Structure 1
Amino acid sequence: MAPRRGPNRGLETGVVLLAMELFNVGVTTIPPVTLFTIAGQVLLYVGTFSVPWEKWDVCISTDKVLSGHEFKRLFLSTFEHGDDMHLYYNMISFLIKGRSLEPRYGSTNFAFLLVILCSMTNIGYVLLGQACAHLFQDPYYLHTCAIGFSGVIFALKVLTSYEAPASTTMVAGTPVPTRYAAWVELIVIHLLVPRASFMGHLAGILAGVLYCKTFVGTMIDNFITGITGEPMVHDISFYHH
């Protein structure tokens, strides 16, 4: 198969805006895993990496994974983006969360957590597609295909909300309790941007809730700590309860 895209895609508006924001923040102030994750997705988007697929060849859908056994989509779909503004908004959101969480957890722990949340989100997406197709008797949910880092970002939204003190945050100009901001944002995005992946975002939220509020989070923390030797430090005592 021919390379996915050539090396000279061009600096589209979203890429330029993202670069300006990174330099405005200060590249040296960005934790390494966060910076590497952003840089990797930007370089993939602009075509610096010659990879043997087109972005929509690796989009994730329930049918492609369960029936087609194309398990590579569980990973590769996360790092592709539909257009430059999709990339921009995702990376800006991830930058904020990475700068908050990575110093707290430690870079190695944060890297493992990202991989795990990515896996949980994408497996959740596949299961949601199957459940919705059965519940609504509509095969659309089996075939809808998504790409992007949004699901992982929604999982991180849940983490940051549980790590933060009780407060309110603004969503679409309306103050809502920070704890529920991800849920409200899920609905707002679905209404304002119908093409956005509702199932992908919901899968990310559910992955975050599983991590923060169930024994799954304790298992994940113990697993990561067992590998890295560094404890996962959380600020809120009711984590994993």
Structure 2
Amino acid sequence: MSRNRHDRGGGFFLLLLLGRLQDHGLRDMGYVTLATIAGQILLFMGIINPPWSAGDVCLSGEAILRYKDYSRLFLSAVEHVDEIHLYHNMVSFLLKGKTLERKYGSVKFFILLVLFTLATSLTYAGLALAASRHYDDYSYMKQCAIGFSSVIFALKVLTTYYERSPYSSVFGVAIPSKYAVWAELVIIHILVPNASFIGHLAGILVGLAYIYGPLSDVVDAISGTLTSRGPSYGRRSYTYSHGTARGDISQVSRPNSPAEAMAMIEEYVARDITPLPSSPTASLSPPSVSILSLS
């Protein structure tokens, strides 16, 4: 059942969030990053008004494993409790999204977000089940969480890994990068007791599964399948051999220097040039020009 979404704050943090977006430059943002942020803002404001409330789609182990309400695997991630929750998540995602979408490209980054959302939610449910059995406490299965922070923690693992910096700043404190996400997990749990420790832990585990496990292969496989269905212009590599063009990339001869490249061009032109007819009445046909895309 839907409810009025306008009663979760006075608008100050929404204005602050819009200001941060403007500071970072909307034109410099990738399409997927911008659409993800805009969609969650519009959903929070009620401009996108679905037939459910945030409480209806919160993520819990019980809802997924017992009641099979699989829609919560995705819907819970795009809902937020209040303006402050939305603000902090979107500002954090903005920084990571810009970096990773630029690195991966929009298509692959979109696939990454979708799979991370699904994977973090499933991991959350699995951790809740494990905790309830280990501590013999079913309340872990009933704990309900909403928000994008699980995905953000997974992205945090990626950005920290790609930065290759020996130290990262966590709340203004320099910490060895390999411990940064773990330190952030503990500090947030201490400072914000209502934050979902299991949800954030799920995000870290999914991020590690991408860097060191098989999840990156899944993303690459889906991305490759989708992009290979489009037009193939610009994808085929050619090499010249005796005046012919071949599409076998294994035979491509690549120059090692500008001078070698010029020598290859001069050799090709000298070999394939055809003398012009000496008769002034001869019919001259213009040469055909082929534009080859080298990938």
Deviations 1:159-217 (A, max 9, x none): 11111123211213321112321111000000111100000000000000001001332
Map of 1:176-191 to 2, 5 A cutoff?
Answer: 176-191=175-190
Structure 1 residues 85 and 6: CA distance shift in structure 2, 3 A: closer
8 Å Cα contact 2:8/2:82 also seen in 1: no
* Runs of 4+ residues deviating >4 angstroms: 6-11
- Say which SS state the counterpart of residue 170 (structure 1) adopts: strand
8 Å Cα contact 1:11/1:46 also seen in 2: no
Give the helix-richer structure, 1 or 2.
1
8 Å Cα contact 1:10/1:46 also seen in 2: no
- Alignment partner, residue 156 of structure 2: 157
Identity of aligned residues (%): 45
Tell me the C-alpha RMSD between the 2 structures. Answer: 1.7
Letter of the 2:94 counterpart:
L
Q: State the structure with bigger RCO (CA 8 A, min sep 6), 1 or 2.
A: 1
Letter of the 2:34 counterpart:
L
Letter of the 1:216 counterpart:
L
- Alignment partner, residue 99 of structure 1: 98
8 Å Cα contact 2:188/2:195 also seen in 1: yes
Shift of 1:227: 2.0
Identify the range of structure 1 (18-27 vs 121-130) with the bigger mean alpha-carbon deviation.
18-27
Structure 1 residues 216 and 5: CA distance shift in structure 2, 3 A: same
Shift of 1:57: 0.7
- Say which SS state the counterpart of residue 175 (structure 1) adopts: strand
Letter of the 1:200 counterpart:
G
**2-structure distance, mates of 1:99, 1:6:** 28
Matched, 1:142 2:141: yes
TM-score normalized with structure 1 length = 0.90
TM-score normalized with structure 2 length = 0.74
Letter of the 1:172 counterpart:
F
**2-structure distance, mates of 1:180, 1:174:** 12
- Alignment partner, residue 40 of structure 2: 41
- Alignment partner, residue 238 of structure 1: none
- Alignment partner, residue 201 of structure 2: 202
- Say which SS state the counterpart of residue 81 (structure 1) adopts: coil
8 Å Cα contact 2:167/2:174 also seen in 1: yes
**2-structure distance, mates of 1:175, 1:146:** 30
Deviations 1:78-107 (A, max 9, x none): 000000000000000000001101011000
Deviations 1:22-44 (A, max 9, x none): 11211111111000000000000
Q: Unaligned stretches of 5+ in structure 1? A: 231-241
**1-structure distance, mates of 2:6, 2:184:** 35
Structure 1 residues 9 and 200: CA distance shift in structure 2, 3 A: closer
Equivalent pairs counted in the alignment come to 229
Letter of the 1:97 counterpart:
K
Shift of 1:9: 7.4
Shift of 1:5: 2.5
